[in-house]
Each structure stands twice: as C-alpha cells, then as structure tokens.
Amino acid sequence: MLLVNATVATMSENAPYGLIPDGAILLEDDRVAWVGPRADAPKAATRDMGGRLITPALIDCHTHLVHAGDRAREFELRLEGASYEQIAREGGGIISTVTATRAASVADLVALALPRLDALLAEGVGVVEVKSGYGLTVEAELDMLRAARALEARRPVRIVTSFLAAHAVPPGGDADAYIDAVCIPALHKAHAEGLVDAVDGFCEGIAFTPAQIERVFEVARALGLPVKLHAEQLSHMGGSALVARHRGLSADHVEYATEADARAMAAAGTVAVLLPGAFYTLHETQAPPVAAFRAHGVPMALATDANPGSSPLFSLLLALNMGCTLFRLTPEEALRGVTAVAARALGLDDCGMIAAGKRADLAVWDVRQPAELAYRIGFNPLAERIIGGEVFA
C-alpha cells in the first residue's frame, strides 16, 4: 500500500521536520518500506490521503499512567497555599496514591489506566512509557508493572516499563533500609519476570539522595538494564550528573540542571526529558536550561508525566504547546521531542521517525503544516492512527 497526496514530516534531520511536501509512504506489513517524494515512488496500489499531514505516531516517554485514587483535595490545598513538598512531608502527595494503589488489584489498575491510555491514543500516540512507584512493597511494585504490561494486550499500543520503586520512602521507613529490603529485591524479581525495560528513581530532598539512587543503579547495570532519573525537579541534587555517569537514557524534569550538567549529559548521550505539565501544575518559576541544552547538543524530549499529583495531564498535544509556550521550544523541537528524541529516551531505534525499515506507526492529521500540532490549545486534529501498518480511525 502506497500512501500518496500527503505532507510527510519524517522527522529525519535532512530538513526542518524532515518535511516532504508532496510525499508518499510505502507500507509493507508492519514496516515502512519506502518514503520520499511522490514523483519518485515505487509502483503500488495507492491510497489518497487528501493532502493531510503524516507524522510518526507520537511517543509519551514519561508517564505514571498506572495508579489508583485521585488527588483533587491536594489540588485544593495547594491553591490554599500549601506547597507540594509540605503536602508530601505531611503524608499526602505520593504516599496517598500509594495507599490507594496498594488497595487495588491488577485488574483494577488496568481498568483505571485504560481511559487515561485512551486519551493519549486519541491524540496519535503509539508508544507509552509507564512507571511503577506507587506500590513501594515488592508485590505492589510488581503488580503495577504487571498492569502496565497487560495494557499492551488491550489496545494497539507499545508499552515500555520503568521500575520506579525508589520513588518515595514508605511512611515511618528509613530510605537506606527501604532500598535494601524492598527496592533491590523487587528489582531482581521484576526483572526475572520480564517486567522491567529500564530503572528510574526520584532524586530529591523529599525522596532519595544520589548515593541512595546509585545503589539501585548499580543493581540495574549488573542486570543489563538502562537507567534514567527524575532529577533536579525542585532543587539541584546532582541527579543528572549521576545519570550521565551511568550513561543513562534520560534525566527528567531538570529545571535546576546547570551548564555543567548539560555538558555531562551531552557527553553521555543522555536525553533531557522536559515535563511542562508538572512545571505548570506546581506553579514553578525556574524553567529548564533549554539554551544550555541547545548549546551543548543535549537532545530534548517532551512528555506528559501523566500522574495524579504533580502533573494530571493526559494530553501530549497540550504538552507540545506548553513546551513551546512555557519553555520556549520551537514547534519543531517540540515535535522531535515527542517522536525521534522520545524514542531515543526509551532506547528504541525502530520508531519515532518515518524511514525505510522503521515500524509503520504513523499519525495522520487534519492539518497542513506541522507547527499546527503545537500551537492550538485543547484541539485534537487527529484523523487516524496507523499502528504496525493497521489503520485505527
């Protein structure tokens, strides 16, 4: 099948957006066999795309989609003046989601996650990263990852998991003892069950120190698992330098990262995952050092950070808009951030770009130019998703 009469944003580096104005894409089974100007296209049965824009299917490379409960009360408290950190220290925040998540079965967690996943898919998403981190016991962490894996059988989507037991210290617990008694044994068990694609942590004053995170990273590396980290979100803790030292996939949030961090990340090939939904929700004022990331060549991804507390954002298109408006990304950087760079942040090399040999995971949009995907607020122009060569309208 040859898709013709389309504007194709391949996201290759050859041109802005890798754009091919009158483009064609040859699909063979679940792969792209050829892409280029229509005039050069190989002979095949054609499908007229009506001049629509085609991009790679979008990739949300940082979510906490699997969780139970809600934090609407916390939203009210913050509006009355309480800070995110204050609420967390008083046993609200992440810990309140932990209580609700532990009480849920795997089937409950799947059922709760599906509508959130559907919201993402409706905007052309084809790959979603999902983290654990609201269980904080061996079994509850495993259950979250089992629920994440189960989503893949329920919808046409690829799920990539991150093990995030080092997300919060359980109430009354000691951080180091928790890492020994829960994090490390849970990681071994989850890995043995094939539940872990990468290992994450939360390096922050209200969570874990770089030294504590590093103990988990060492186990990850012994198991051959890549690492990533919630780093420099609320303060500068040295998490991004730690990830770079471990040649990690990504450092996420990174509002408080420095020029030296940017240099270390660039040298290590570590992606900066920008999460404007959390910045917006928490009324943060320090934006990530985008100019330093650009200057040093740190690839920037964008994601929703979809979670019940700091970023109840279930729209990747809105994250695109926020990345441009709040962080001053260009619409091209933003679109790369949810396609080619997001794939890299997940260690995937068969998606996020339209090129021969890549998966036929595409999003078809009722717009004429790629910048339209970033500039509207609360409008979804998706016409269809093509996942593994199959059309989902």
Q: Which residue is it, tokens 């609700």?
A: 100
Task: Give the nearest distance from C-beta 225 to Fe ion in angstroms.
Answer: 18
| Furthest CA-CA distance within the chain | 67
Task: Give the nearest distance from C-beta 15 to ligand DI6 in angstroms.
Answer: 35
Total residues belonging to the chain: 393
Task: Give the nearest distance from C-beta 315 to ligand DI6 in angstroms.
Answer: 16
Query: Counting contacts by CB under 6 A, is residue 240 touching ligand DI6?
Result: no
205, 181 contact by CB (below 8 A): no
C-beta of 94 vs 272, nearer to ligand DI6:
94
Q: What does 97 interact with, of Fe ion, ligand DI6, none (CB < 5 to 8 A by kind)?
A: ligand DI6
DSSP 164-192: --TT-PPTT--HHHHIIIIIHHHHHHHHH
Q: What does 315 interact with, of ligand DI6, Fe ion, none (CB < 5 to 8 A by kind)?
A: none
Q: Which residues bind Fe ion (CB under 5 A)?
A: 305
What's the angle, vertex CA 272, arms to CA 271 and CA 278, rounded to 5? Answer: 140
d(CA 171, CA 144): 19
Query: Counting contacts by CB under 6 A, is residue 230 touching ligand DI6?
Result: yes
336, 13 contact by CB (below 8 A): no
C-beta of 57 vs 234, nearer to ligand DI6:
234
Q: Rg of the chain's alpha carbons, rounded to an integer?
A: 20
Q: Which of 101, 132, 240, 307 binds ligand DI6 (CB under 6 A)?
A: 307
Stretch that binds ligand DI6, among 51-59, 177-185, 239-247, 306-314 (CB under 6 A): 306-314
Q: What does 132 interact with, of Fe ion, ligand DI6, none (CB < 5 to 8 A by kind)?
A: none
Q: Which residues of 25-35 are buried (b: 16+ CB within 10 A; e: fewer)?
A: bbbeeebbbbb
Number of residues that bind ligand DI6 (CB under 6 A): 15
Task: Give the nearest distance from C-beta 201 to ligand DI6 in angstroms.
Answer: 9
Task: Give the nearest distance from C-beta 74 to ligand DI6 in angstroms.
Answer: 8
Task: Give the nearest distance from C-beta 4 to ligand DI6 in angstroms.
Answer: 42
Task: Give the nearest distance from C-beta 376 to ligand DI6 in angstroms.
Answer: 25
Give the containing element (helix H, strand E) for 331.
helix 331-337
Q: Which of 19, 26, 244, 278 binds ligand DI6 (CB under 6 A)?
A: 278
Task: Give the nearest distance from C-beta 43 to Fe ion in angstroms.
Answer: 48
C-beta of 41 vs 207, nearer to Fe ion:
207
User: Which residues, 6+ apart, have CB-to-CB distance to 200 below 8 Å?
Assistant: 131, 133, 162, 163, 164, 166, 167, 227, 228, 229, 230
N- to C-terminal Cα separation, the chain: 17
Query: Counting contacts by CB under 6 A, is residue 305 touching ligand DI6?
Result: yes
Give the containing element (helix H, strand E) for 159.
strand 158-163
386, 156 contact by CB (below 8 A): no
Give the containing element (helix H, strand E) for 271.
strand 271-274
Task: Give the nearest distance from C-beta 301 to ligand DI6 in angstroms.
Answer: 15
C-beta of 197 vs 252, nearer to ligand DI6:
252
User: Which residues, 6+ apart, have CB-to-CB distance to 284 below 8 Å?
Assistant: 255, 278
Q: Which of 311, 315, 321, 339 binds ligand DI6 (CB under 6 A)?
A: 311
Cα–Cα distance list, 248 to 130, 188, 198, 227, 301 (Å): 17, 19, 10, 5, 14
C-beta of 52 vs 64, nearer to ligand DI6:
64
Residue nearest ligand DI6, Cβ-based: 309
Residue nearest Fe ion, Cβ-based: 305
C-beta of 212 vs 250, nearer to Fe ion:
250
Query: Which residue ranges make up the site for ligand DI6 (CB under 6 A)?
Result: 64, 93-94, 97, 167, 202, 230, 233, 278, 305, 307-311
